[in-house]
Structure 1
Amino acid sequence: MARIDVNGTTLGIESFGDERAPLVLLAGGTTMLSWPDGLCERLAAGGRRVVRYDLRDSGESETADPQAPGYTLRTLAADAAALVEALGGGGPAHLAGIGVGGMVAQVAVLDHPGVFAALTLVGTRPVAPGPADPDLPEHDPATMRRLFARPAPDWADRAAVAEHAAAGAEAVGNDPAAARALAARIWDRTPGTAAPVHLANQIGLVFSRLDCAPRWRERLPEVAVPALVVHGARDPFFPVGNGEALAREIPGARLLVLPEASTALPASAAAVGEVAAAMLSLS
């Protein structure tokens, strides 16, 4: 783990692999731990320098006020471009984003086209948080009722936060045990016990307050780098039709649907191997 100053802020990063190898930059969704350790290690074993990082207001990155973020989606995209420059490597990077980090990645590749050599999008959609376009599948209503009917945990209680995450994972079809362990790791890295800070780390609700204008979906045909779209077939939050739309609208994009996956990337050896092989084939 390390921290690096870029674009007027400080971001938390973690590196895997040879620093001289081609760079794969993994944007957290919102924390870097959204990317399984095993996938980072597999990409590094494939001859890549892998750097995963926390978005602003999460993890080891600078935390200001998650309830009133003083930055926009375009700022987060510029953070990704600035990270590539700061990390060096002598060439454009492969950028990957998961969940809301996938929205950051789309805008980054569009706004900073010379900085990136490839794009991977995991479990995301081509529009900002909020109501989807009419042709995009919305969140599953029954699942959303189950998620938001639950009382919030005591955010100062590590075990309660972990159990809350496990119950949420069960509601959306993820592995509860894996979610419990991940939430505990995220809790340990959260800079404070205030509920808004935990929400930004555990659930990423900072994005509901973020300025994401202007739209970028109509610009997706401008993406001029090899692209991979990975989506869980059982995702009730961003149903797979969202990934299918991305793959249709980004020229030449490959769609990889994981039959047993929901919103999280599975940490199983089979899933990690399949996703890593597809990502390595891009660059």
Structure 2
Amino acid sequence: MAERVIEADGIELCTESFGDPSDPPILLIMGKGASMLWWEEGFCRMLAGNGRFVIRYDHRDTGRSVTYEPGRPGYTASDLVGDAARVLDAYGIPAAHVVGVSAGGAFAQLLALDYADRTLSLVLISTSSAVPGDRELPPPTEEFTRFVSSAHVDWSEAKSVIDYLVAYACMLAGGRRPFDETAARSLVRRDVERAHDFAAARNHDVLPDGELSQAPLSSIAVPTLVIHGTADPMFPLGHGEALAEQIPDGTLLALQDAGHGVERADWATIVPAILEHTAADHAG
């Protein structure tokens, strides 16, 4: 499918759709600093080929969407949540099934809280609560903390960025399965080469919150499927368990030995689970 740049509220967002627009819509929301390429085309086509209209898009400061000066983002985290609604508006979709991974899962929760009429169901992958709570959650693993505190990268040099992001992807994979470095390097290289300014993706690390919802997870009123790897080093499994328990209509699918993200080895499990969750007789 061809990419489509939409314009909304003075900004440009790069999007891409798969499948028949008359099928139930699924909006995919990626995590911080990651373009839509991380929702791999094969994954999108598996969903679309089974009767879903799938939309992925580049966040601001990723891929071919609007890009700001590194270190000076002209927007907030709340604006990124609103962008999901802007994408739906551009496609003429009143409400969609929303699938988010990592920070994209947090954005999906906030969308369900602040734009409840736009959300048919949620699928939350490798993520944690988007709102403050009193439940104690497990910290990242020592390996994750060591990597983020010690890794070095020259954001002005493509090779350095690619090497860093491949190493980061390897660490996020959790270490319990073989890591396909060749596939990861190919994806990272395409992501870096495609971006207007890849260094701008760092803006996601310094975003002000803006007007984010403070409503409790218990007020999410749509069916929610939580998918979480048992080897996730950023958000250990307890984060996914807490989400599934605190959201009234929440269920947990634990992926044995999976790390953080949507790994190709799990597509055969994740895709049928999403299809079942978004089927008309399961979506409320």
Distance between the aligned counterparts of 2:126 and 2:105, measured in 1?
A: 8
Tell me what 1:150 maps to: 151
Shift of residue 93, structure 1, vs aligned partner: 0.6
SS at match of 1:94: strand
Distance between the aligned counterparts of 1:192 and 1:214, measured in 2?
A: 27
Tell me what 1:24 maps to: 26
Q: 1:86 to 1:154 in 2, by over 3 A?
A: closer
Q: Which amino acid aligns with 2:138?
A: P
- The one of 108, 126, 129 equivalent to 1:126 is 129
Query: Equivalences for 1:106-255 in 2 at 5 Å?
Result: 106-127=109-130, 135-153=136-154, 155-157=156-158, 159-173=159-173, 175=179, 176-192=181-197, 196-197=199-200, 200=201, 205-212=202-209, 216=213, 218-255=215-252
Tell me what 2:260 maps to: 263
Shift of residue 66, structure 1, vs aligned partner: 4.2
SS at match of 1:77: helix
Tell me what 1:282 maps to: 277
Query: Equivalences for 1:36-75 in 2 at 5 Å?
Result: 36-75=40-79
Q: 1:109 to 1:136 in 2, by over 3 A?
A: same
Once the two structures are superposed, residues 135-191 of structure 1 have per-residue CA deviations (whole angstroms, 9 ceiling, x without a partner) of 01222233321343122146433x443322222233333633332122101111111
The farther-off stretch of 162-171 and 222-231 is: 162-171
Distance between the aligned counterparts of 1:140 and 1:254, measured in 2?
A: 24
Shift of residue 115, structure 1, vs aligned partner: 1.0
Shift of residue 58, structure 1, vs aligned partner: 0.9
Q: Which amino acid aligns with 1:259?
A: Q
Once the two structures are superposed, residues 226-248 of structure 1 have per-residue CA deviations (whole angstroms, 9 ceiling, x without a partner) of 11111111111111111111111
The farther-off stretch of 143-152 and 182-191 is: 143-152
Q: Is the 8 A contact 1:59 1:191 kept in 2?
A: yes
User: Structure 2: where are the runs of 5+ without partners?
Assistant: 279-284
Shift of residue 107, structure 1, vs aligned partner: 0.7
Distance between the aligned counterparts of 1:212 and 1:138, measured in 2?
A: 22
User: Structure 1: where are the runs of 5+ without partners?
Assistant: none
How high is the TM-score relative to the length of structure 1? 0.86
Q: 1:122 to 1:162 in 2, by over 3 A?
A: same
Q: Which amino acid aligns with 1:149?
A: S
Q: Is the 8 A contact 1:18 1:44 kept in 2?
A: yes
Aligned-pair identity (%): 35
Distance between the aligned counterparts of 1:56 and 1:146, measured in 2?
A: 26
Q: Which amino acid aligns with 1:226?
A: P
Shift of residue 43, structure 1, vs aligned partner: 0.7
SS at match of 1:281: helix
* 1:82 pairs with 2:115: no
Distance between the aligned counterparts of 1:85 and 1:215, measured in 2?
A: 20
Q: How many residues align?
A: 269
Distance between the aligned counterparts of 2:190 and 2:133, measured in 1?
A: 32
Shift of residue 134, structure 1, vs aligned partner: 6.2
SS at match of 2:216: helix
